Amino acid sequence: MFRRDLPAHHDPAFTATAPLDPAATLPVAEIRKQPDDASIGRGYDLREELGRGGVGAVFASRQRALDRVVAVKTMLRDGSSESSVAKFRAEAVVTAYLEHPNIVPVHDLAIGPNGALLLVMKKVDGVSWRTLMHPRTVEERERAHSFGLEQHLEILAKVCDAIAFAHARRIVHLDIKPDNVLVGGYGEVLVTDWGCAAAFGDCACSGLVPRTRELTVHRGTPAYMAPEIARGETASASPRTDVFLLGGVLYELLTGRPPHAGVVLGEVLARAAKGDIDLPQVAARDRQMPDELAAIAMSALNPDPQRRPESATAFSELLREFRQHAEAVKLAEAAKTQLATARMSPDASDEHFRRAIAFCERAIDMWPEYAAGRHQLAEARLDYATYALSTRSYRLAHTQAFAAAAHARQSDRWDLFRKAEEVVDQAQRATQLEVARQHHLRRLRVVIGLAVALIIAGLVIGFAVVRNDHRKLAAALAIARSAESQAESARYQAEASVRELKGWAPEWLARAQRAFADRRYSEAALDADAALQLDPHQAVAWKIAAAAYALTDEIGNAQSSLERFALARPDDQSLVPLREIIGRLADHPRTDEDVARMRDVVLSP
């Protein structure tokens, strides 16, 4: 009607409604007059044929009154046949009754030569969905190339919308298949060929459209037919029958063939009646397909109508959930890419870590039950926390590690949970040390400031003594002595604060040694660094820092710490092997032998 590839009659995938009468078929020449001046009804001029099927043909025609091109479907049967006229009129009434963006609009129902009815519809430039699924020519393959699984599922979703609307108007289609779906050049999706449709309840057109309980012959296409229809139980046709057909179309999307295969019509009908359908993964072993989508198809293809999704809307919702899940998986993959980039580009790591976390959070929002997404989020936050520790952003490290532990616990990833808890503990201890250090520095600054103030006061007093008379000299000297005494006291307090800070250094050095011995190299580096902040003259701390940084792949920090160790102890026997091992790690991947040698050098008395 508005497509160029309306399928010709073929077995077994032809549409069956009633036995065909070859003698009742009119040749096209009797319908079509002269190509340049052919009137086929009230104000319509016939043009080229667009396609034909077993019981009808579709022509492009010009509507003279509005000077526009429309599609005209004509009967190929004898117009005097009451059953043919009734069926054709029923299709016209149903199509006109169902005004929906995904159902082809009907303009008119006219009378043509020999009393044949003419169904006038909108002409849309496009192809049948089957052409996009199974392209044959070079042109068709080029057009179909841009249609991946996501695009085909979008088409199927629009078909579901049209069928759900029909069900709401108490109409079942009964012949849903790729041939009966038109895909336009601008994304239009139109369900066509409502010739097998029937009313399953009261509707405005029930007087002109057969009811399901009145059906006595097979309706639909055997290759897609629901078991209840194939068994002749046509009176039981319902919206779940259309759901089966929608599942059959999805099955063909996944496997490349309809659910019922066979060489002859009888074989196909027998398979359809039995409802025995191979799993999509078995029917197309050479194709990759999402298991979730295959399960949706098989749920709709259940032989028992009561075990299928209850409506086209319910089936469409399953497709929508799958598409959301697929999008969530893509986001998780994008997060993995960002994490890999962060590990390779330390200078830009912060931004990549933030992106990875954002991608994972969006994936979980779209699919709350996505366990792999939660695992990925826990890993991203843990990596970010470790990175923050290395840059001494202790509060950020604590926040990210704490969140990572929560995500790991929710997803039962106890290995990640334990690692996150370790980072939380390291960040807490580093934060406490930083707070203590800042506190002592503030005290030291106050004491030094007071001393400076007193010294200035003394100088001022001294100057005043010079300028004043001798009688005030004694009082000024007394004030100066008092200032000197207070300054001396301030100096003692400052030295006490420094000694107190240095007194903590051996404790942090001992922690660093224990952490290195227990193979907690990141923690060893942090503890050694803390000890050196308190007392930079601890040569052993520089040695442990160099080794720990080297074993955590921070070669720059390792080399810097090694040079400080060399300055502190230029004759130390461990200096040479340390230089050799760190120099090797700068150019080669770390090996178990490197780790063992490093541990021997550091842990030897």
Alpha carbon of 9 to those of 12, 46, 155, 501: distances in Å? 9, 23, 25, 95
Cis peptide before 12 (omega within 30 of 0): yes
- For residue 26, give the DSSP letter: P
Strands (DSSP E) found in 176-272: 181-184, 189-191, 198-199
Q: How far apart are the first and last CA of the chain?
A: 93
Q: Give the burial string for 552-570 (b: 16+ CB within 10 Å, else e).
A: bebeebbbebbebbbebee
- Is the Cβ–Cβ distance between 317 and 153 less than 8 Å? no
For residue 294, the Cα-to-chain-centroid distance in whole angstroms is: 19
- Is the Cβ–Cβ distance between 531 and 538 less than 8 Å? yes
**Residue 485, number of CB atoms within 10 A of its CB:** 11
With vertex at residue 130, the alpha carbon angle to CA 58 and CA 289, rounded to the nearest 5 degrees, is 165
- Respond yes or no: is residue 175 known to be catalytic: yes
**Residue 162, number of CB atoms within 10 A of its CB:** 23
- Is the Cβ–Cβ distance between 366 and 327 less than 8 Å? yes
DSSP code string of 74-132: EE-B-TT-HHHHHHHHHHHHHHHH---TTB--EEEEEE-GGG-EEEEEE---EEEHHHH
- Is the Cβ–Cβ distance between 15 and 193 less than 8 Å? yes
Residue from 595, 420, 429, 428 nearest 511 by CA:
429
Residue from 213, 217, 215, 210 nearest 194 by CA:
210
Active-site entry in 45, 175, 193, 527: 175
Strands (DSSP E) found in 180-332: 181-184, 189-191, 198-199
- Is the Cβ–Cβ distance between 554 and 560 less than 8 Å? no
For residue 380, the Cα-to-chain-centroid distance in whole angstroms is: 17
Active site residues: 175
